[in-house]
Structure 1
Amino acid sequence: MAKKTKNKKNNIYKYSLDKFFVERLSFKDNKLKFGTNTYLNELARILGLNPYKIKKKLGLDLKINDHILDDDQIAEIALSNNIEFEKVDDVSPENIILKINDLIENYKNWPKEVIIKKRTPIVTIMGHVDHGKTTLLDTIRNTNFTEKEAGGITQKIGAYQIIWKDNKITFIDTPGHEAFTEMRANGSKVTDLCVIVVSANDSLMKQTKESIDHARAANVPIIIAINKIDIPGHDRKKILNDLADYGVISEELGGDVPVVEISALKNQNIDQLLDTIILLTDLLNLKTAFNILSSGTVIESNIHKGRGNLVTVIVKNGILRIGDNIILDDKLITVKGLKDENQNPISEAYPGQPIEIYGAGFSPLAGSNFVAVSDLKLANKIVNVFHSSKLNALRNSNNKLITRENLFQRLSDQKKRIFNLILKVDSVNSLSAIKNQINLLNDDDLIIKIIHEDVGEVTNSDIVLADASKAIIYQFNFKTPNNLQSLIKSRDVLVLNFDIIYRLFEDIKEKISLTAKKEPVKKIIGKGEIIKKFVFSKVGAISGTKITDGFVKRNSKVDIYRNKKLIYETEIKSLMIEKNNVNEVKKGQECGITFKNFNDFLENDNLEFFEIEN
């Protein structure tokens, strides 16, 4: 009798979801963990407190039943009930997915039973609209896909896999670089290599340059495919020089970018292009774990009248099977069916493979990530807690527009400041003049990156790129088209229009100054004197204080002086008038104050209340 082998299908390394999940609101071992925008009734329930008493203590309207508390109010309730507390980030399925994917892709010590193998490379084809992208894919796949197009423009994102000299290659055909960057804006790097198609009789066109910019912004290596060499009279040297002028240095000119001349229509040198793809992706050493819970990225989704929501994904890690439960966007779904790119039903999909999944019930955005899960109970909890948190946040949202302060907060925290911008101007001369002046603004701790430049008004592509790269769009001698205003608002992108170059530079300088790190400034807001010390077993020491100047606020910082000498710097833990908690006490009033981590004050000690301004 033949010896039975173990079922490798079940030999899956199962990561534990609880390592990545922190509940937004929990109370255990006298410690409260909370996020932003918590319902008062929810807090009262979990702490076992009376909601009415909480409202009264915080001075809230007793008639309203669904108050949403801010961080300070939650901390105050915890403090007044001797409860330890910690603020945590609101849970998000998307963040959990990204953390799991990061763990999978950067894991160094897999258990010995985990199988690590080479995965299929993923290649994206980009370029100008009529330079032959789809004809190239049509030739590679030996199908007649071009007949499905209208006006030479690809109608949707497609993904296809071929086998070349025993090597699998997955190709993504985008309808434009906007879709490519849409994936990156959503936190995905789905492609390993970009093939930029350049027409031999046109050289670099507007969308060619945009495609190069988007590939470089995503830090993805590129191959240049000079197409239509069957047309007489093309100038290879001019194309290479045009590429070099745009910062793409071919191997022929001493750079690292391969260039292959092809004719997609005549099937000329396609083998050379595929050989180059295999060579370059081999150097990338693409490997992943196979027998683990699967993860991947959405590249398109749409609704079919007969088949419902169709979601095309590329598997990045593990093996995806029918019946797997996956977290996709903020939903938990079961994979009810799988089909390959030729619409053949399959039971499982491997890393690097594009497939269509059934059972989502909705259409996620391109670039959305998914992970398969084994712990359904915790997965459901993650999704439910997130939806509760999202509802609270929406109720408390004031739909703030983008401001200079929040736009540059991220930059000011970096060691080396990087200022990304996009230039859209009215002429080549204007572009040259503006670029030369901008380059003079770089210094030792600042890099100004022009991630895209062009002659012409702002486009959808520019807005998507600005969103993905956190860039500001500067227009010179143009006005923003009205039909783009809603997209600009939804993306929170800053588009600035100027008609005087000097004012454009002044604005850049002003914004750069906002990114500079500022020394914190201590602002004195009030002074006080301790006139009596009270000690209680449960609360600790309370200072009976008279405010002698200015005012004091709850959570103010305070310096404590004795005989004009600073003895301790701390924060106010609680602020009361008689037995009532208050937010502020002014000059001439008396109050009770407790200090954070300090009880050794004495009568006649002097207090100086202050705030830190950054």
Structure 2
Amino acid sequence: MSQHNRRTQRGGGRGRARGRGGAPANGGPRSPQQAEGRRAAVLSGPVVLGSVVTVGELADAIGVSPIDVIKTLMARGIMASINQQVDFETAASVAEEFGIEVEEHVPEVVQQADQDIETRRDEGDDPGAVPRPPVVTIMGHVDHGKTKLLDAIRQTNVAAGEAGGITQHIGAYQVEVQGRKITFLDTPGHEAFTAMRARGAQVTDIAVLVVAADDGVMPQTREAISHARAADVPLIVALNKIDLPAANPDRVKQQLAEVGVIPEEYGGDVPVVEISAKERLGIDDLLEMILLVADLQELKANPNKPAIGVIIEAKVDRGRGPVATALIQSGTLKVRDVVVVGATWGRVRAMVDDRGRRVRRAEPAMPVEILGLLDVPEAGDILQAVEDEKTARTLAEERARQRRAEAFTETRVVKLDDAFAQLEEGETRELRVVLKADVQGSLEAIQGTLAKLNEESESVGVSVVHAGTGAISESDVNLAVASNAIIVGFNVRPDAAAKRAADAAGVDIRFYDIIYQLVDDIKSAMSGLLSPEVRQVTDGYAEVRQTFRLPSREVAAGLYVLDGKATRNSRVRVLRNGAVIYDGVVSSLKRFKDDVREVQAGYECGLVVEGLTDIQVGDQIEFYHTEQVARTL
């Protein structure tokens, strides 16, 4: 949630804050005079709420019954008790139902911490920033040589110590090339990479896609490409196993071009480096290419500030307690620093680098294992060094409350039914889709039809984040969460792990067995993503027959309604010789001495327009209002 104050529109409030059995929500009796005083306070200005409030506190603050608040939450699918905590976004939407304006109060220490994290995401313009090592993720199909490549780079026998040759957890390693450092994230493929992105952590600068020269582009290769594109990071292809007799680099490059990864020698922007991890051929060329791509990105960070980083992995060690592997992104982390990590905190007792050596400082892009946290954080949590333990405790407690409230009330993924509410920034609207089908023929037919929809509309489109055949997997769910996408399955179903992950994350999965039904639903969602068309509807016309100067220096006009009707809720244009000389809001509409809502054609009335002082006999008054109309493709 943003640290900035947010408000809902203010209108007329109703009801009094009462708890169970008619008792006030705050537990004490309240007289009619106190209730009226509370109501006046609510209507006099915005009600200040914390980032997290209980249902009872919300009811008391906005002056309504807790039962009414609970009913409003139930209508939104949230089953809450009077003591249940909700986040500010939910509280604000409930208050809006009752016409109450609310304002969020965020403690100053939390505002400063959130602002510090936000402003330091890109330190390229910071005068104290210096070049930092790039952070690289290795991805690719199983058995194409990801771990062997890392083994060759680090010159350590990692693969031999792992069960089945599969990386068991996320680690981070730093190597030195030509006097410069490169940090590698050792992941079990793209699943963990995107799982961290789904939690909000963007740690990778460059993705290296390992493709076997004898095997070519495989299903997991396509998935890895989709994940790298969704993360919007530069891609380098490491064409592995070129030493094998069956290796055919040209065929693999052609396959890559067919899936949209255009090698540089074909006129594209993706470097392709031919290597053999087993024979350690071309490794230096790959490392030089990584440094070249990093130079083009101009990666910088300021090491002279308090540290900010991301948790790569965390666990409980029986002898050492909570242990977390952190990748420092900005500033320098030192032993004895007080840090906040997500919803926990602690003082750094010790740090160990990727080679098992104790260190006292960790600079940008350096991975370290830290000891001293009070609890185990989650992968993807932000680490932030703060001034003292009091600040750390306040931040951790606030974020823990926030997480509990958000977990109870929020779903952070797109639903096809309410996709229109998820508007993208800018002029272009986009609905993101993860598409899975039973066979390649169906997949191509659906993609072709969706491409035609994009051609029919310039202002809104559907973006296929990933398309593949086979069952919907847990990797697809992670990608949907990270990319804010929906999953569409044609004649396929999710496996057990994917179903559990989708239920836990609230990912919308749609199943179809008829293509036109799939396309119709997508088209409807795209129509919903279009900004509504704003139309001006004319309510009536009137002519000024007489004018009167009021003590307030405003001018009242005596009108004769020529056509339609004059309404108090309309806006008005004042026309003189066909030209608009004023556009404003009706301040008062009277018939004789009585205030009226509307006056029909053929009758006279008196009108005051807010802020209008120049009006003459013979002027035309046009009454109009605006309305929003849903647009279709």
Q: Does TM-score exceed 0.5, indicating one fold?
A: yes
How far does the alpha carbon of each residue in 1:116-161 deviate from its partner, in whole angstroms, 9 at most, with x for none?
Answer: 2111111111111111111111111111111221122111111100
Q: Is the 2:338–2:385 Cα contact (8 Å) retained in structure 1?
A: yes
- Partner SS state of residue 450, structure 1: strand
- Partner SS state of residue 339, structure 2: strand
- Partner SS state of residue 147, structure 1: helix
Equivalent-residue separation in structure 2 for 1:95 and 1:485 (angstroms):
38
Q: Which residue, out of 267, 273, 276, partners 1:263?
A: 276
Q: Is the 1:289–1:318 Cα contact (8 Å) retained in structure 2?
A: yes
More divergent stretch after superposition (250-259 vs 296-305): 296-305
Taking structure 1 as reference, are residues 498 and 282 closer, same or farther at Cα in structure 2, changes over 3 Å only? same
Is 1:356 matched with 2:357? no
Is 1:515 matched with 2:515? no
Equivalent-residue separation in structure 2 for 1:122 and 1:32 (angstroms):
45
Shift of 1:473: 1.4
Fraction of identical pairs, as percent: 35
Is 1:501 matched with 2:515? yes
> Residue type of the partner of 1:419?
L
Taking structure 1 as reference, are residues 93 and 409 closer, same or farther at Cα in structure 2, changes over 3 Å only? farther
Is 1:242 matched with 2:255? yes
**Cross-structure match for 1:138:** 151
> Residue type of the partner of 1:362?
D
Equivalent-residue separation in structure 1 for 2:332 and 2:424 (angstroms):
42
Taking structure 1 as reference, are residues 374 and 502 closer, same or farther at Cα in structure 2, changes over 3 Å only? same
- Partner SS state of residue 281, structure 1: helix
**Cross-structure match for 1:565:** 566
Taking structure 1 as reference, are residues 472 and 183 closer, same or farther at Cα in structure 2, changes over 3 Å only? same
Q: Which runs of 5+ in 1 are unaligned?
A: 1-18, 80-84, 524-560, 571-596
More divergent stretch after superposition (136-145 vs 512-521): 512-521
**Cross-structure match for 1:490:** 504
Taking structure 1 as reference, are residues 405 and 155 closer, same or farther at Cα in structure 2, changes over 3 Å only? same
Shift of 1:187: 2.0
Equivalent-residue separation in structure 2 for 1:134 and 1:95 (angstroms):
42
> Residue type of the partner of 1:505?
V
Equivalent-residue separation in structure 2 for 1:390 and 1:246 (angstroms):
39
**Cross-structure match for 2:295:** 282
Q: Is the 2:172–2:183 Cα contact (8 Å) retained in structure 1?
A: yes
- Partner SS state of residue 276, structure 2: coil
The 5-angstrom pairing of residues 517-596 of structure 1 reads 517-519=531-533, 565-567=566-568
Is 1:465 matched with 2:455? no
> Residue type of the partner of 1:427?
V
How far does the alpha carbon of each residue in 1:516-540 deviate from its partner, in whole angstroms, 9 at most, with x for none?
Answer: 22247999xxxxxxxxxxxxxxxxx
Shift of 1:107: 5.2
**Cross-structure match for 2:116:** 100
Equivalent-residue separation in structure 1 for 2:337 and 2:158 (angstroms):
32
**Cross-structure match for 2:104:** 88
Equivalent-residue separation in structure 2 for 1:224 and 1:103 (angstroms):
33
- Partner SS state of residue 33, structure 1: strand
Q: Is the 2:340–2:395 Cα contact (8 Å) retained in structure 1?
A: no
Q: Is the 1:91–1:386 Cα contact (8 Å) retained in structure 2?
A: no
Shift of 1:299: 1.3
Taking structure 1 as reference, are residues 68 and 307 closer, same or farther at Cα in structure 2, changes over 3 Å only? closer
Equivalent-residue separation in structure 2 for 1:102 and 1:133 (angstroms):
33
Q: Which residue, out of 103, 116, 129, partners 1:116?
A: 129
How far does the alpha carbon of each residue in 1:307-361 deviate from its partner, in whole angstroms, 9 at most, with x for none?
Answer: 2222111100000011212221123322222110112111110001011111223
Q: Is the 2:348–2:371 Cα contact (8 Å) retained in structure 1?
A: yes
- Partner SS state of residue 105, structure 1: coil
How far does the alpha carbon of each residue in 1:403-430 deviate from its partner, in whole angstroms, 9 at most, with x for none?
Answer: 5444431137752111111121111211
> Residue type of the partner of 1:506?
D
The 5-angstrom pairing of residues 403-442 of structure 1 reads 403-411=415-423, 415-442=427-454
> Residue type of the partner of 1:422?
V
How far does the alpha carbon of each residue in 1:88-136 deviate from its partner, in whole angstroms, 9 at most, with x for none?
Answer: 38789999766433301345765x6xx3211111111111111111111
Greater relative CO (CA pairs within 8 A, separation 6+): 1
**Cross-structure match for 1:252:** 265
- Partner SS state of residue 326, structure 2: strand
- Partner SS state of residue 464, structure 2: strand
**Cross-structure match for 2:489:** 475
Q: Which runs of 5+ in 2 are unaligned?
A: 8-40, 71-80, 538-558, 572-584, 599-624
**Cross-structure match for 2:215:** 202
Q: Is the 2:438–2:492 Cα contact (8 Å) retained in structure 1?
A: yes
> Residue type of the partner of 2:224?
S
Is 1:172 matched with 2:173? no
Shift of 1:606: 2.4
> Residue type of the partner of 2:243?
D
Taking structure 1 as reference, are residues 473 and 89 closer, same or farther at Cα in structure 2, changes over 3 Å only? farther
Is 1:216 matched with 2:217? no
Equivalent-residue separation in structure 2 for 1:172 and 1:430 (angstroms):
36
Taking structure 1 as reference, are residues 190 and 476 closer, same or farther at Cα in structure 2, changes over 3 Å only? same
Taking structure 1 as reference, are residues 217 and 65 closer, same or farther at Cα in structure 2, changes over 3 Å only? closer
Taking structure 1 as reference, are residues 157 and 366 closer, same or farther at Cα in structure 2, changes over 3 Å only? same
Shift of 1:277: 1.1
Taking structure 1 as reference, are residues 508 and 320 closer, same or farther at Cα in structure 2, changes over 3 Å only? same
**Cross-structure match for 1:152:** 165
- Partner SS state of residue 151, structure 1: helix
> Residue type of the partner of 1:88?
E
Q: Is the 1:326–1:335 Cα contact (8 Å) retained in structure 2?
A: yes
**Cross-structure match for 1:590:** none
- Partner SS state of residue 462, structure 2: strand
How far does the alpha carbon of each residue in 1:482-535 deviate from its partner, in whole angstroms, 9 at most, with x for none?
Answer: 443221111111111112222221221222222222247999xxxxxxxxxxxx
Taking structure 1 as reference, are residues 362 and 504 closer, same or farther at Cα in structure 2, changes over 3 Å only? same
Shift of 1:362: 3.0
Equivalent-residue separation in structure 1 for 2:527 and 2:108 (angstroms):
34
Taking structure 1 as reference, are residues 318 and 30 closer, same or farther at Cα in structure 2, changes over 3 Å only? same
Q: Which residue, out of 594, 602, 620, partners 1:604?
A: 594
Q: Is the 1:314–1:352 Cα contact (8 Å) retained in structure 2?
A: yes
Q: Is the 1:122–1:352 Cα contact (8 Å) retained in structure 2?
A: yes
More divergent stretch after superposition (506-515 vs 224-233): 506-515
Equivalent-residue separation in structure 1 for 2:54 and 2:589 (angstroms):
37
The 5-angstrom pairing of residues 334-373 of structure 1 reads 334-373=347-386
- Partner SS state of residue 373, structure 2: coil
Q: Is the 2:420–2:530 Cα contact (8 Å) retained in structure 1?
A: no
> Residue type of the partner of 1:242?
Q
Taking structure 1 as reference, are residues 598 and 377 closer, same or farther at Cα in structure 2, changes over 3 Å only? farther
What is the count of residue pairs matched by the alignment? 512
Taking structure 1 as reference, are residues 154 and 411 closer, same or farther at Cα in structure 2, changes over 3 Å only? same
Equivalent-residue separation in structure 1 for 2:193 and 2:147 (angstroms):
16
Q: Is the 1:405–1:514 Cα contact (8 Å) retained in structure 2?
A: no
How far does the alpha carbon of each residue in 1:140-194 deviate from its partner, in whole angstroms, 9 at most, with x for none?
Answer: 1111111221122111111100111101111111112011111222222211111
- Partner SS state of residue 280, structure 2: coil
Equivalent-residue separation in structure 1 for 2:92 and 2:308 (angstroms):
35
- Partner SS state of residue 101, structure 1: helix
> Residue type of the partner of 1:229?
I
- Partner SS state of residue 165, structure 2: coil
**Cross-structure match for 1:531:** none
Q: Is the 2:351–2:360 Cα contact (8 Å) retained in structure 1?
A: yes
Equivalent-residue separation in structure 2 for 1:468 and 1:606 (angstroms):
54
How far does the alpha carbon of each residue in 1:538-572 deviate from its partner, in whole angstroms, 9 at most, with x for none?
Answer: xxxxxxxxxxxxxxxxxxxxxxx9996345569xx
**Cross-structure match for 1:529:** none
Shift of 1:223: 0.9
TM-score between the two structures when normalised by the length of structure 2: 0.71
Q: Is the 1:197–1:225 Cα contact (8 Å) retained in structure 2?
A: yes
Shift of 1:207: 1.1
- Partner SS state of residue 453, structure 2: coil
- Partner SS state of residue 197, structure 1: strand
Equivalent-residue separation in structure 2 for 1:99 and 1:260 (angstroms):
41
> Residue type of the partner of 2:104?
V
Equivalent-residue separation in structure 2 for 1:194 and 1:149 (angstroms):
23
Equivalent-residue separation in structure 2 for 1:160 and 1:384 (angstroms):
32
